[in-house]
Structure 1
Amino acid sequence: MTASDLFQSDLFGLHEGSSDPLEGGFQPLAERVRPRTLDDLAGQEHLAGPDGPLRSFLESGRLPSMIFWGPPGSGKTTLAEICARSMHYRFEQLSAIDAGVREVRKALDGARQAQRTGDRTILFIDEIHRFNKTQQDTLLHAIEQGLVILIGATTENPSFEVNAALLSRMQVYILKPLSETDIEAVIRRALERDGLLQEKQVAIAGLDFLLQFAGGDARKALNALEAALALVPPEQREVVLDRSLLERALQHRAPHYDKGAAAHYDTISAFIKSMRGSDPDASLFWLARMLEGGEDPLFIARRMVIFASEDVGNADPFALTLAVSVFQAVQMIGLPEGRINLAQGVTYLASAPKSNASYEGVNEAMRAVKQFQDAGVPLHLRNASTSLMKDIGYGAGYRYPHGFPGHFVEEHYFPDGVLPQLFYRPTEEGREKFAAERLRGLWKDRYRP
């Protein structure tokens, strides 16, 4: 490979393979071996494979605005660059961490100027969930007018972090954490194709350790590989990349928890199951591990809100109120003090009486709805909002419960032709036992002791 080959500029003004600080600057290994086509990509087969939507978009030459939602190192930026390179579009990149409205408008002005000469622009915004509503609103007209194709990248659920107006104009695609097989392919591809690494003969003896450390993050794996090789004397051509070399380079063991890695899902599972098992101490342990690992506290708080209804339910109706209050407090205060709010919520939820009757009830009702989806609403339960509706029988025969002793009258509330079914089975735990007693008294045929 000649010097001119090494320093040829690509579509983005980068110098692929460059290692000379005077020729475009030294690029990290992860950047030097970044895939340039979908065929070079490891993982994300559901998006980039033969039947994937991204491949179809690029082959048809029609690309929608999109949000890539996935963990770090899963290929969000890479996919955006591949789209621009394949479509021969300009590529403008902003990071929502340090860009504001002014930077967005400047990028849009550049796209407008390019449009006059027939060039189209992909505007890529990393960490788009960090933009506030005003910043997100500046993008709406640009998308509608076709000024740019917007590609946003986020590690957070866009349903919560991206406003509805912007979200409705974009397709959301979920990127999965890379498997160990994918990460291994990334590492071997780097060793085979990178011009600098080809100068050495590298044998990987610590692959398991490296894969565990990477935790599904390709960039993390490549950075670790590069750090380890940097410890090898330049004149040494044969290198054994073993665990000891990797540990010396990384200065710590592979973490048990890393936000976005496989352990992320295992840890939140242990957290939920500890609360469900009424063990506040174990629940606090997993809470602390997530916070130490850099987990988003609002993600934890959202899971607690779900837990309050799914696992505590009407055994303690106040649990949901408390969980929502914890979410709002953490949202308002943030870390580090927000950990105190989380701890209060976790210990309350773990210590509370448990019932999943509401959760099981709605699941059973959802199954029944599919079976009786065409069953009509009985006339006596319909709302007679006009005189015509009243004339044809809407609301006729409806008995108002508050007009009867105990504010109750036995009535048929299910659809026409559907017999009453038991979905909600209240337990004897906490306050739910009072609901069970009342329902047994009201619906004697359905709720039996």
Structure 2
Amino acid sequence: MKKSLFEPPKPLAERLRPKKISEFVGQKHLLGPNKFLSLCLARKKISSLILWGPPGCGKTTLARLLAKETNTRFIPISAVDSGIKELRKALEQADKERSLGRQTILFIDEIHRFNKAQQDFLLPYVEEGRIVLIGATTENPSFRVIAPLLSRVRVLPLKPLSREDLVLILKRALDSPQGLKELKVQIEDEVLYYLADFAQGDARLALNFLEDLVMNFDENQPKLTLEKVKELELKKPLQYDQSGEEHYNLLSAFHKSLRGSDPDAAIYWMVRMLEAGEDPLVIVRRLVAAAAEDVGLADPQALQMALAAKEAVAFLGLPEGELVLAQAVIYVAMAPKSNAAYMALNKAREDVEKYGALPVPLHLRNPETKLMRDLGYGKGYKYPHNFPEGFVVQDYLPKRLKGRRYYFPTERGREKELKERLIILKAKKNKN
């Protein structure tokens, strides 16, 4: 079959990949003076790495440049469509290069997609130095890379590109012969800053936006203006992975905002998750947890509001259920806070773990049989309802824990009343 004379041009982002490290934009915390990768390049020696960062921050480009700058063979594979067979073939090539005195960088894109067996397969090659492994991942390696492999590599976090970084890349695209220079499109600087903000640190996304705008530009217009771009009503993509770190990051920010009594931040994180497609019941579960753990008895109504939101969201669905959820979020955020019940639970658990199964005092045991009565079960138990105010002083804890306190109510909200009640009861106990 003859090869076509016409080949569609590569995407702009691919055409503009830097050819040398001096052209690489961003990641100054790794490539600045006396920084880790700069020192490695000065020595012309790279150790096994995992480049962890968001999409479009330069992971693949950086790996290629590290190989080029150190004169190292570069073998790229993708964990999406590769397995043991492809790994074995790549590693055989690396062994051949090694026999000729040349080191090989095995670059594995999306390494977090490899299962445990595939990651295990790499271990001896990395440990013995038969390859330099560079993995790229958008997922937290702590969760997605096995511990033995993680201990043999250095994890380098990469940052989203800054607004200024992205504007520089976009200007290069407009001025480069490999980019869009020949089209001679004039673009307001405001458009470049708008696209940089829109791309949220992702260079590939920014370049894709720019290429689409330029390729569909009306030649009768003298300049591409911000006003014209805004008319397109582009929708920002939201970085979110419902099973990855960002999922837990947003839930954590949401819960901490509730705990910190900041309704504005709590609503913001709630909307971020909803707009990214999160299951609203996941948000409600965290809301219920916050109502119990952080509001507690300072305002028992908060838990009822959160549970009511669960029922309403399940009944109404979205978008109608969003308003109910928002109301409950605001209520829980604004409620007085107390973790006294949460702390009481933890303190009691500590004693259970420390002292084990302490025997129940005889007077608290039900005398269900004659034998049990003869053994003293229930003897001396005082029925509180037979006493004024429904209260009588008596011990309810095992002897070893006599006088132990777990619940220390705060002075906040409804719990202030509970504290006053405890003070009264304690005073009565002290009289006896």
TM-score band w.r.t. shorter chain: 0.5 to 0.7
Matches within 5 A, 1:121-132: 121-132=104-115
Q: Does 1:34 align with 2:30?
A: no
1:178, CA displacement in angstroms?
1.1
Root-mean-square deviation (CA), in Å?
5.2
2: CA distance, partners of 1:177 / 1:194: 26
Matches within 5 A, 1:9-158: 26-158=9-141
User: CA distance change for structure 1 residues 128 and 196 in 2, over 3 Å: closer, same or farther?
Assistant: closer
Contact 1:47 1:53 survives alignment (8 Å): yes
1:217-243 Cα offsets, whole Å, 9 max, x none, are: 11111111111111147xx69962323
Match of 2:200 among 215, 218, 230: 215
1:147-204 Cα offsets, whole Å, 9 max, x none, are: 2111111222211222211111111111111111111011112222233522233332
Match of 1:406 among 395, 402, 405: 402
2: CA distance, partners of 1:74 / 1:182: 10
Contact 2:199 2:236 survives alignment (8 Å): no
1:32-84 Cα offsets, whole Å, 9 max, x none, are: 11123332122211011112201111111221111111111111111111111
2: CA distance, partners of 1:357 / 1:92: 54
Contact 1:80 1:151 survives alignment (8 Å): yes
Gaps of at least 5 residues in structure 2 are 303-316, 318-324, 344-396, 427-432
User: CA distance change for structure 1 residues 312 and 169 in 2, over 3 Å: closer, same or farther?
Assistant: farther
1: CA distance, partners of 2:64 / 2:420: 59
TM-score (norm 2): 0.62
2: CA distance, partners of 1:99 / 1:285: 40
Q: Which moved more, 1:278-287 or 1:84-93?
A: 278-287
TM-score (norm 1): 0.60
Contact 1:427 1:436 survives alignment (8 Å): no
Residue equivalent to 1:164: 147
2: CA distance, partners of 1:103 / 1:305: 47
2: CA distance, partners of 1:189 / 1:146: 38
2: CA distance, partners of 1:215 / 1:438: 54
Match of 1:253 among 234, 238, 241: 234
2: CA distance, partners of 1:34 / 1:185: 14
Contact 1:35 1:78 survives alignment (8 Å): yes
User: CA distance change for structure 1 residues 404 and 303 in 2, over 3 Å: closer, same or farther?
Assistant: closer
2: CA distance, partners of 1:159 / 1:145: 23
Q: Does 1:184 align with 2:167?
A: yes
2: CA distance, partners of 1:108 / 1:306: 49
Residue equivalent to 2:187: 204
Contact 2:52 2:140 survives alignment (8 Å): yes
Instruction: Give the aligned residue type for 1:94.
Output: I
2: CA distance, partners of 1:436 / 1:165: 56
Higher Rg:
2
1:288-341 Cα offsets, whole Å, 9 max, x none, are: 6425436799x989988996998468989xx9xxxxxxxxxxxxxxxxx9xxxx
1: CA distance, partners of 2:45 / 2:264: 54
Contact 1:183 1:218 survives alignment (8 Å): yes
2: CA distance, partners of 1:163 / 1:432: 49
Contact 1:32 1:194 survives alignment (8 Å): no
2: CA distance, partners of 1:136 / 1:305: 39
1: CA distance, partners of 2:4 / 2:52: 34
